């Protein structure tokens, strides 16, 4: 169920590689509350899917590995997707992803997606998890895989975008036609 949803999500939403303009921290001073949500006419399990623009995260290593972070909504459920763009990144179901906040707290999330070597981590977020993500400043996202662990440092723009996207998706009503 989640496997089919994720595969279709990445196909429908696309994973355009680094074509859009990068934001810097200075953009926060003039940032506006912008809800750029895409809903395609295709359905998944007879349900419509909406998604936010992807955020590109750079791994904190020498290999210049990137990940795509994206939020999506289907049937009033919000999902967090992370896809690591590296070779042979195997993540098993229930594998842990840690999100560390600037206040020192860490939250661990289990992968809801099946075992895969495509670098895909999916988590269906509950209301408490969404609140924590939107109200706190994320400093690091750590993804643990079979071969190697990945650490992604987030800046102010990325934190703003995650919070903004969560608020937008929460309020967004899926169009039925």
pLDDT along the chain (177 residues), means of 10: 52 42 34 70 79 92 85 91 93 91 94 90 93 94 92 93 92 83
DSSP collapsed to 3 states, 76-136 = CEEEEEEEEECCCECECCCCEEEEEECCCCEEEEECCCCCECECEEEEEECHHHHHHHHHC
With beta carbons less than 8 A apart as the criterion, state whether 160 and 31 touch: yes
pLDDT of residue 74: 87
59 secondary structure, DSSP code: B
Report the C-alpha gap between 60 and 140 in whole angstroms: 10
CA dihedral for 4, 35, 151, 56, sign (positive or negative):
positive
pLDDT of residue 79: 93
CA separation, residue 12 to residues 36, 66, 153 (Å): 16, 20, 27
156: which 2 tokens? 């102010």
Report the C-alpha gap between 177 and 163 in whole angstroms: 28
With beta carbons less than 8 A apart as the criterion, state whether 75 and 45 touch: no
pTM of the predicted model as reported, rounded to 2 decimal places: 0.78
Closest CA to 116 of 84, 80, 90: 90
Report the C-alpha gap between 140 and 155 in whole angstroms: 9
152: which 2 tokens? 């992604």
């Amino acid at each position: 169920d989640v496997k089919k949803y994720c595969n279709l999500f990445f196909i429908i939403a696309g994973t355009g590689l680094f074509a859009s303009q990068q934001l810097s921290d200075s953009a926060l001073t003039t940032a506006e509350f912008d809800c750029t949500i895409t809903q395609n006419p295709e359905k998944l399990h007879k349900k419509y899917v909406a998604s936010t623009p992807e955020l590109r995260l750079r791994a904190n290593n020498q290999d210049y590995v990137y990940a795509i972070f994206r939020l999506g909504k289907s049937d009033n459920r919000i999902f967090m997707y992370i896809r690591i763009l590296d070779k042979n990144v195997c993540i098993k179901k229930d594998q842990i992803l840690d999100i560390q906040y600037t206040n020192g707290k860490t939250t661990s999330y289990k992968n809801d997606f099946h075992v895969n070597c495509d670098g895909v981590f999916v988590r269906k977020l509950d209301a408490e998890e969404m609140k924590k993500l939107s109200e706190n400043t994320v400093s690091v996202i750590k993804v643990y895989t079979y071969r190697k662990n990945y650490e992604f440092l987030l800046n102010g723009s990325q934190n703003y975008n995650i919070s903004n996207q969560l608020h937008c998706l929460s309020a967004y009503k899926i169009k039925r036609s």
